[in-house]
Amino acid sequence: MTGKERIRTVLEHHEADRIAVDFGTTPVTGIHCKVVEALRKHYGLDDHPVYVHEPGQMLGYIEDDLAEALGTDTAGCFSPKNSIGVWNKDWKKYRMPWGQEVMLPARMVDSFTEKDGGLYSYPEGDKSLPPSCHMPERCYFFDSIERQQGEIDDDNLNVEDNLQEYGEIDDETLSYWKTVTDRAAKTGRAVVAGFGGMALGDVARIISPAIREPRGIRSVAEWYMSTVCRPDYIKELFDRISTLAVKNLEKIYSVVGDNVDVVYVCGADFGTQTSQFMSVDTLNDLYVPYYKRMNDWIHQNTTWNTFKHCCGAIYPLMDSLINAGFDIINPVQIAAKDMDPQRLKDEFGDRVTFWGGGVDTQKTLPFGTPAQVRDEVLKLCEIFSKDGGFVYNTVHNIQANVPVENVVALMDTLKEIRS
């Protein structure tokens, strides 16, 4: 089977010739550049600085040679612009505070401000604006800086303000998507694309590090509170976003067609470690109708599968997410409350594909031994892979502090299972 056939088979809830695997095709199934560098070294691949395509989380690009070494069945197509709104091109070498040389867009690198052992970056790399991201000393990521403009005036809230980052797709971007999906399809692996414009209430977007002068509700806490105290505003916003998204999807589909296998729809988290952020009723009322609008259009007009990222303890919300039309749930945070792998598989495994959940990244992978990693990978693959409906990935990205021997143990165990 090709990677594409393998992914398609498990998405149809059949077992493939071996477990399907993804590493690095989305902002939530990736690997920190520090670990990417260590893996390249481990597999004896060409020694050059890792390209960082998503600087917020400092995710390293998994080039074809590493994808081959990892046995990845997927090829990622990323947004042309990174998280601060800079085009991922004109790469320039930069030494990060922990000493690693990486490649980042020159426009971003040239605008960095180094201060107190850390770094600041700016929307679109424009230093005349206040910084929108900060990487403090001892940190391996760029965290967004909240730029909420004053107190929210409920009497004058205008939904247009929270639509700043959404708009009709332009010809240059359409042409980009055609080029990258054509190229990805030629790899024979399943094509995973993050077209953007479909996120509903993803706080990583709400906080808006790419926007020059954010307006509307731009504080994370304020957004969460708004799900309780401003439901009408949220519904109006989601109605506008999902309507525009369908319009853009029509255009995108007309150029990329069925080259795409999986489309990343939304990364909004509805769970904390121990509970969800909202009741089932609130999710059904505020979010599901608008997710359904986008997912239904995709299912009625394309062969794409829809991918929903949602961290945390979301067991009570699973039915609603499936009913909203999502084919894929990620990251399957098995260490969160009530997220028992066997229970998830038994109750939802025939209706949704688990893309993730392959090893706990809060404890086992960063702090366990290689033997513990191996045991957990074996156990979880056995549970999740039965009858398909599973694409192997860790629970969220592999973080900077993970010992490379643990990642190698993970990869070796996968090879053993798949051989």
Asked if 341 contacts 349 with a C-beta cutoff of 8 angstroms, the reply is no
CB of 281 to another protein, least distance (A): 11
Site for another protein (CB under 8 A): which residue of 272, 284, 302, 372? 272
- Tokens at 242, concatenated: 């999902």
- Tokens at 157, concatenated: 């809230």
Q: Is residue 274 a contact point for another protein (CB under 8 A)?
A: yes
Q: Which is nearer to another protein, 225 or 371 (CB)?
A: 225
Query: For another protein, which stretch binds (CB under 8 A), given 60-68, 82-90, 137-145, 374-382?
Result: 137-145
- N-terminal to C-terminal alpha carbon distance within the chain: 13
Query: Exposed (0-12), middle (13-18) or buried (19+): which is 158, by Cβ within 10 Å?
Result: exposed
Query: What's the half-sphere exposure (Cβ side, CA atoms, 13 Å) at 169?
Result: 27
- Tokens at 396, concatenated: 């969220």
- The Cα 98–Cα 23 span in angstroms is 24
Q: Is residue 284 a contact point for another protein (CB under 8 A)?
A: no
- The Cα 144–Cα 210 span in angstroms is 10
Q: Is residue 369 a contact point for another protein (CB under 8 A)?
A: no
Q: Is residue 140 a contact point for another protein (CB under 8 A)?
A: yes
- The Cα 273–Cα 395 span in angstroms is 13
Site for another protein (CB under 8 A): which residue of 45, 69, 220, 378? 220
Looking up tokens 């679109």, which residue turns up? 124
Q: Is residue 149 a contact point for another protein (CB under 8 A)?
A: no
Q: Is residue 121 a contact point for another protein (CB under 8 A)?
A: no
Q: Is residue 136 a contact point for another protein (CB under 8 A)?
A: yes
Q: Which residue intervals of 189-317 are DSSP H helices?
A: 203-206, 220-229, 231-256, 280-286, 288-301
Q: Is residue 370 a contact point for another protein (CB under 8 A)?
A: no
Query: For another protein, which stretch binds (CB under 8 A), given 168-176, 272-280, 290-298, 408-416?
Result: 272-280
Q: Is residue 277 a contact point for another protein (CB under 8 A)?
A: yes
Q: Are strands 113-115 and 118-121 parallel, antiparallel or unpaired?
A: antiparallel
Q: Is residue 400 a contact point for another protein (CB under 8 A)?
A: yes
CB of 362 to another protein, least distance (A): 4
Q: Is residue 250 a contact point for another protein (CB under 8 A)?
A: no
Q: Is residue 225 a contact point for another protein (CB under 8 A)?
A: yes
Site for another protein (CB under 8 A): which residue of 101, 113, 228, 346? 228
CB of 117 to another protein, least distance (A): 10
Q: Is residue 166 a contact point for another protein (CB under 8 A)?
A: no
Q: Which of 214, 295, 186 is nearest to 205 (CA)?
A: 214
CB of 139 to another protein, least distance (A): 4
- The Cα 288–Cα 310 span in angstroms is 14
CB of 153 to another protein, least distance (A): 12
Looking up tokens 């853009």, which residue turns up? 248
Q: Is residue 273 a contact point for another protein (CB under 8 A)?
A: yes
- The Cα 181–Cα 148 span in angstroms is 36
Q: Is residue 371 a contact point for another protein (CB under 8 A)?
A: no
Q: Is residue 137 a contact point for another protein (CB under 8 A)?
A: yes
Site for another protein (CB under 8 A): which residue of 227, 248, 385, 406? 227
- Mapping DSSP to helix (H, G, I), strand (E, B) and coil, where does residue 80 land? coil
Asked if 13 contacts 387 with a C-beta cutoff of 8 angstroms, the reply is yes
Asked if 354 contacts 340 with a C-beta cutoff of 8 angstroms, the reply is no
Q: Is residue 404 a contact point for another protein (CB under 8 A)?
A: no
- The Cα 373–Cα 278 span in angstroms is 33
Site for another protein (CB under 8 A): which residue of 12, 17, 221, 343? 221
Q: Is residue 401 a contact point for another protein (CB under 8 A)?
A: yes
| Binding residues vs another protein (CB under 8 A) | 134, 136-141, 143, 220-221, 224-225, 227-229, 272-279, 361-363, 366-367, 399-401
